[in-house]
Structure 1
Amino acid sequence: MTSRTTAPPAGTAPVPVVPAPAPPTRRAPRRRAGRGLPLLLVLPTLVLLVVALGYPIGWQLVTSLRKFGLQQQFGAPPEWVGLDNYVALVTDPTLWAVVVRSVAFCLVTAFVTVAVGGGVAVLMNAVGRWARLVLQVSLLLAWAMPVVAAMTVWIWIVDWRRGLLNWLLVNVGVDGAGGHNWLAEPISFFVVASAVVVWMSVPFVALSIYAGLTQVSTEVVEASMLDGAGGWQRLRYIYAPLVAPVLSIVILLQIIWDLRVFTQVKLLQDAGSVANETNLLGTYVYQLGTGKGDFGTASAVSVLMLLLTVALSWRYVRSLLAQES
């Protein structure tokens, strides 16, 4: 069909054709006026964080390049020795023994803590309301107990003269348990120290993992139960992958905390052990700095301790960044 144009009737003026308006050109989006406001609000916190962390680290670096001896204790300025403190540490077998001991203690304690805390978290997720409430209150009380007060109880438990542990072993019938000093031998010392550190760290790990378990969808769990998945299969294929970010953060924090543990080991050493055989990095720095007044070497060990912490936690930091991206 061909379309015909209808002519206007006679005596009627033709209607002018108005051209269609041109489409508006797209302008570049204007920058929001308040775009820099969040950065401005965060800036004071960043400055405070840089000052609070940068000054101690800078002081440690400068101090590690100096020598402190007997003259410095009487007011003489420290002598600038450059990297001599680091060279002396690298060639010192005592430092490497302390490093190996600290890394082994850190890794074993951290993973045992996460395993025990994860078990307690699964238990809290499985029991009833009142049992869960009792567990949570008990964990909070253990976590809130001051370190010195808790260590007083633990030292009384393992005391070789009137300790509860030896008393229980004697009543059970263990030969040679009476008067046994658990802090005299390095192996038994670190077993006790690990038990103390794990006991103090389990509440944080258990409550953190339990918080992650509560975020798992009940529909997913019920669907897996309908498909015939058992308790171990649900824990392995449903709960563990969904709680993996929480586990990564908890393991990272435990490695950092257990590597620089000081108070528990120091108080146990004072209770009856040989410090040179049971030193970790934290107590070794304290022994060099406060005990011997060698602040240059102590600062060098602190710098090496910082580098070791970064090296041990770098893998977990990369995994966290990958999860964020």
Structure 2
Amino acid sequence: MSAANTTTPAKVPPPRQAPPPPPDTPGRPPRRRRSAAGGAVPWGLLAPCLLVLVVVLGYPLVRLVTLSFQKFGQSQLWGFQPAENVGFDNFSTVLGDSEFWVVVVRTIVFAGGSVLFTMVIGMLIALLLQRVSGWVKTLVNIALVASWGMPVIVATTVFKWLFDSDYGVFNALLSKLPGVDVVGHNWFASGPQGLAVIMLLVVWGAVPFVVITLGAGLTQVPKEMEEAARLDGAGAWGVFRYVTLPILKPIIVMLTTLSVIWDMGVFPQVFVMRNGHPEAEFQVLTTYSYDKAFVVNDYGQGSAIALVTVLLLLGVVAVYMRQMLKIGEVE
């Protein structure tokens, strides 16, 4: 009989366990892992809209850039001659034309004046609507929405009738004032007066949107802060400057930027008011580009002017984005 085996059996080590996850930082919600499928869902939902934008906006923009570097006239339009690449010749011709820079200055002044009056009048009306009774506010909002929803062509036709030299209501009303006689006065005999009328039309169409948007923003101004400012001795202007205005700043920046873009791109108001043939002193960038392309039949230069306009508007958008980023950093 063999001796008993007294050797101690070897111990098997327990299986290694994964380290516990790090504890969540106090005051913060637990971290969630984003799956690849979850990240693709938003893009899948946005895909139809992005596709429409690419088709509707992308192709015309690419075509515009292409035409701006080509010699493209009636012969090329009808296929008698192929389009000829001319490099930057269209831009050199446009930027070297003194008339173009006169149109640029006129457009900037026109857009700046329209935006200034739109924002000031819109702010005043929005502030006044906070101090009137409910039924008056409702009536004013109905009138604002009705004017806002009026088609541009209809509004332009109405303004043409209001300022008509022979049958205009505006001349008749002004002539009733003591010492004023403007019966038969032609407001479009000179560029500044005519553009002032068109500016009034643009402001009239833009004010409702500004009033409604600012009115919604004014409802977010805390009444406690206004009361505290009044207790500290601030008047109406002080409350507006140091309480209301800082809170409304993001909305004002957005509205101002949108108004600049819209007013720089004004076309139907000028085109229809001048019966489809704006004179030289009524030309803005949009109508000037249209005349170069479809009246002179130089589609290359017309596209170059339109592209320069787009670049100017991109500069406005860059300023807007910078202001919004600053506001976000402060918050």
Q: TM-score range by the shorter chain?
A: 0.7 to 0.9
- Which of 110, 123, 127 does residue 128 from structure 2 map onto? 123
Q: Distance in 2 between matches of 1:274 and 1:293?
A: 16
Partner of 1:16: none
The answer to whether the Cα contact below 8 Å between 2:261 and 2:313 also exists between their aligned partners in 1 is yes
Question: Paired residue for 1:32, among 12, 34, 38?
Answer: 34
The residue aligned with 1:224 is 229
Q: Which runs of 5+ in 1 are unaligned?
A: 1-21
Secondary structure at 1:245's aligned position in 2? helix
Q: Please give the per-residue CA displacement for 1:137-186, whole angstroms capped at 9, x wherever unaligned.
A: 11111101111111111101110111111112222244551211101100
Amino acid at match of 1:58: V
Give the structure 2 partner of residue 12 of structure 1.
none
Verify: 1:139 aligned to 2:144, yes or no. Answer: yes
Establish whether residue 243 from structure 1 lines up as the match of residue 243 from structure 2. Answer: no
C-alpha displacement of 1:86: 0.7
The CA deviation string for residues 39-84 of structure 1, in whole angstroms up to 9 with x for no partner, is 3333343343233322111100111111123423543232222211
| Residue identity matched to 1:40 | G
Q: 1:184 aligns with which of 185, 189, 194?
A: 189
Corresponding residue of 2:270: 265
Q: Distance in 2 between matches of 1:180 and 1:216?
A: 47
Q: Is the 8 A contact 2:122 2:210 kept in 1?
A: yes
Match for residue 306 of structure 2 among 291, 302, 316: 302
Separation in structure 2 between the aligned mates of residue 150 and residue 30 of structure 1, nearest angstrom:
55
For the residue of structure 1 that corresponds to 2:188, the secondary structure is coil
Describe the superposition over 1:80-129 as per-residue Cα deviations: whole angstroms up to 9, x where unpaired. Answer: 22211111101111111111110111111111100110111001112121
What whole-Å deviation, never above 9, does each CA across 1:219-261 have from its counterpart, x for those lacking one? 2222323333321111111110011110000000000000000
Contact 1:255 1:313 in 2 (8 A): no
Question: C-alpha separation between the residues in 2 aligned to 1:142 and 1:210?
Answer: 17
Distance 2:21 2:231 in 1: 56
| 1:285 counterpart residue number | 289
The one-letter code matched in structure 1 to 2:304 is A
Letter in 1 for 2:173: L
Which amino acid is 2:269 matched to?
A: Q
Letter in 1 for 2:191: P
CA contact (8 A) 1:67 1:81 kept: yes
Shift of 1:290: 1.9
Cα separation, 1, equivalents of 2:18 and 2:77: 80
Distance 1:132 1:237 in 2: 26
Kindly indicate whether the alpha-carbon contact (under 8 Å) linking 2:270 and 2:278 is maintained by their aligned counterparts in 1: no
Alpha-carbon RMSD across the aligned residues, in angstroms, is 2.3
Kindly indicate whether the alpha-carbon contact (under 8 Å) linking 2:278 and 2:287 is maintained by their aligned counterparts in 1: no
Q: Give the match for residue 62 of structure 2.
A: 58
**Identical residues among aligned pairs (%):** 36
- How many residues are aligned here? 304
Deviation at 1:131, TM superposition (A): 1.5
Partner of 1:316: 320
Matched, 1:114 2:119: yes
